[in-house]
Amino acid sequence: MKIWRKRATNGARLLGAGAMTLVIASSLFMGVTSASAVGTSKPRPVADPTFLLAVGASVSVGVQPTVHHVHGFPTHKGYTNDLIAMQAAKGRRLQVVQTGCPGDSTQQVLYGGDHCYAPGDSQLLRDVAFLRAHHNQEGIVTIDLGFNDLHGCLFHQSIDMTCVTQRMNMLGVQLPQIITALKAAAGPQVKFVGINHYNPYIAAAIHDPTAKPFADASVAAIDLLNSTLATVYAQDAIPVADVAGIFHTYDTTPVDVAGLGTVPENVAQICALTWMCQAPPYGPNLHPNDQGYQLIANAIASVLPA
């Protein structure tokens, strides 16, 4: 279902056991040579690219639904791919490293036990090894975690807030452990960016009006997730890409949307930026679409050094 609004809006690969995806952006740094007095020239050395290490779960590897993968599959159209193009336009070459695993919680990042890494291996071990191997290189590390810690507390259109509170308390312990390990391995030229989360559940009632209580209750759960993330990242002086803000997560202004009628602005944005309001086989699916991933990239770029 296409969403046409009366108001204007803003705008991979499956990782095998322990595999890391490397995407090298086309270089814009080809050295310009100049002739010397005797007519000879020397090419300038090409600087090492800046690496972009994307730590996280499904959104970090650009998951979107396909005809053959209705729950989603890693694509080449995630926010890391958008960041390649955005940074290339500024003359900055990015080497993208995606270690994320769809479904990963912070506990799985720390200790393994997911479907991407073999026993004894984990996303964090791979991240630390990469950072140590590139200690002298300029880099960016994005951390996109926490949503799957919360997601396990949602069952059949109900939310267990006791579970949410317990999981967020655990997130407040485990995410700092991940950050500490990453920072200890990273070199002095590495910048970190945390990513908070939009709320796909507020659109749950689009296809099922009986899900409105669930949609309403999800607001408190996502609020607690984002406040926990804000606290953790602030403790480590890590800037946060405000995905919740750029998705208008807290804007409940009524707007008219073709095919939906009058809905809150935040619901309209979820319909426009994710697959939540699409009919099967593509939806409802909580992952961003191309436009949604571009906005996430914009939020990350806004907190990167100039």
- For 114-149, how does the pLDDT look when each residue is reduced to its tens digit (9 = 90+)? 999 999 999 999 999 999 999 999 999 999 999 999
Domains of the chain: 12-25+47-250+294-301 (3.40.50.1110)
- The stretch 202-217 carries a mean pLDDT of 94
Q: Say if residues 75 and 14 touch (Cβ distance below 8 Å).
A: no
Cα(63)–Cα(282) distance, rounded to whole angstroms? 12
**pLDDT for residue 85:** 95
**pLDDT for residue 152:** 85
Name the band, by pLDDT with cuts 50, 70 and 90, for residue 17. Answer: very low
**pLDDT for residue 173:** 98
Cα(23)–Cα(159) distance, rounded to whole angstroms? 38
**pLDDT for residue 204:** 94
- The stretch 199-217 carries a mean pLDDT of 94
**pLDDT for residue 47:** 55
Largest CA distance in the chain: 81
pTM listed for this prediction: 0.85
- The stretch 287-292 carries a mean pLDDT of 98
Per-chain mean pLDDT for the chain: 86
In terms of Cα–Cα distance, which of 226, 231, 271 is closest to 7? 271
* 213 φ/ψ angles, rounded to the nearest 5 degrees: -60, -40
Q: Say if residues 201 and 214 touch (Cβ distance below 8 Å).
A: yes
Cα(79)–Cα(115) distance, rounded to whole angstroms? 22
Does position 169 have pLDDT exceeding 60, yes or no? yes
- The stretch 180-207 carries a mean pLDDT of 97
- The stretch 161-172 carries a mean pLDDT of 97
